[in-house]
Amino acid sequence: MDIQENTIETSRQENLTRILDAAERLFKHYGYTKTNVADIARDLGMSPANIYRFFSSKSEIHQALCRRMLSASYEVARSIVEGKGSACARLMEFTLGQFQFTLETMLDEKKVHEMVVVAMEQNWPVIEEHIEKLRLLVERTITEGISGGEFRAQDAALGAENFMSATVILCHPQLVAKCLAETRIGKPEDLVKFALHALK
């Protein structure tokens, strides 16, 4: 890539970031359904046509925002899995980290929660891609746990699938919201310990 192409690409990335930042700000303030492309353009002092040079629709902007948000979640999860400590300790930290991320990013910010619900209801690929990337992190940790003698010999892929299914209430936005509205005896840590016990 020559200097001119590099400059054009840098400019494009800067514009994409500006548009996404503005969209996120407006979605959080007014809500996803009440914000349109014209609002985003007005906030940036540009025409809607200029927005459409980078994104074909409001839905595409939304998907890009979801991908950016979930990428941040994945990086936190990856750093935990690649960190020190036993497989059990890392899976505990991984799951509680996802729970905390859901609380802080998707529930404390009500309008963000609305965006995530829309994405899940429409079965966007970005959601499935994120879940699969997390499953692979869990499978990797379980494999290491088997090798280290922490977990019994088993199919690590199936173990990861079951572990995530058992703890989904801690990371699925709608389930977390419902769970918090109820009085429960068990804490998140108790559920993770229960799921870990099944791996041993």
> What DSSP string describes 99-121?
HHHIIIIIISSHHHHHHHHHHHH
Same domain, 69 and 150: yes
Same domain, 128 and 191: yes
Q: What residue numbers bound the domain in which 6 lies?
A: 1-56
Same domain, 134 and 87: yes
Alpha-carbon gap, residue 9 to 29, rounded angstroms: 30
Same domain, 9 and 78: no
Would you say residue 111 has pLDDT above 80? Answer: no
Same domain, 51 and 81: no
* CATH code at position 130: 1.10.357.10
Condensed to tens digits (0 to 9), the pLDDT of residues 60-73 reads: 998 898 888 888 88
Helix (H/G/I), strand (E/B), else coil: 88: helix
Domain end point (choices 56, 77, 103): 56
Condensed to tens digits (0 to 9), the pLDDT of residues 43-56 reads: 999 999 999 999 99
Flag whether the pTM goes above 0.75: yes
> At 123, phi and psi to the nearest 5?
55, 50
Instruction: Say what the pLDDT of residue 118 is.
Output: 74
Same domain, 42 and 118: no
Same domain, 21 and 69: no
Domain end point (choices 14, 39, 56): 56
Q: How many folded domains does the chain comprise?
A: 2
DSSP E strands, the chain: none
106, 112, 118, 121 alpha-carbon torsion, rounded to 10°: 0
